[in-house]
Amino acid sequence: MINITKSTQILFAIIFFFSCASISNHKSGNYFKMKKTGIMDTVTVNISGKVYELYENFGLKGAEIELSNNKNSYSKICGETGEFKFKHIASGKYKIKRKYLGYFTFSDSIEIKSGQIIKLKIGLGTYE
């Protein structure tokens, strides 16, 4: 059986608290929020999220999300409610892109580290 001291438990709690940060951004009629929701014991990263219409708040079914850098490229099509999931993504800095007909183009960069569990919310505004 593993014996974890009180100070080790406190250290893990502090690391978890500071690793679960949120980043929000408003750009070009769009909204982007990245929240680190946990840590896994792995070298890869899991990313999930939702693409939605910014003002009416409904999911954008069929929206395509792309994560890419000079080593890797990943792409997903959003489901019925605009949700998507990437599993076992290599850590690193990525460009995240999203285009959806009739909405502003979304592009930003994110840096993900080994073991992170990340939740993204991407709100797309319209040209009207």
Residue 5 contacts by C-beta under 8 Å, 6 or more apart in sequence?
A: none
Q: Is residue 106 part of a domain?
A: yes
Q: Is residue 59 part of a domain?
A: yes
What is the pLDDT confidence band of residue 100, given thresholds at 50, 70 and 90? confident
What is the tally of structural domains in the chain?
A: 1
Looking at the DSSP bridge assignments, the partners of residue 60 are none
31 burial via Cβ count (<10 Å: 0-12, 13-18, 19+):
middle
Domain that holds residue 109: 22-124
Query: pLDDT averaged over the chain?
Result: 79
Q: Is residue 16 part of a domain?
A: no
- Residue 98 has which token pair? 């999203």
Cα distance between residue 102 and residue 34, in whole Å: 24
Q: Is residue 10 part of a domain?
A: no
Q: Which CATH number is 51's domain given?
A: 2.60.40.1120
Report yes or no: 40 and 121 within 8 Å, Cβ to Cβ.
no
- Residue 4 has which token pair? 């974890």
| pLDDT tens-digit map of 40-91 | 767 889 999 999 998 888 999 999 999 999 999 999 999 999 999 999 999 9
Q: Is residue 13 part of a domain?
A: no
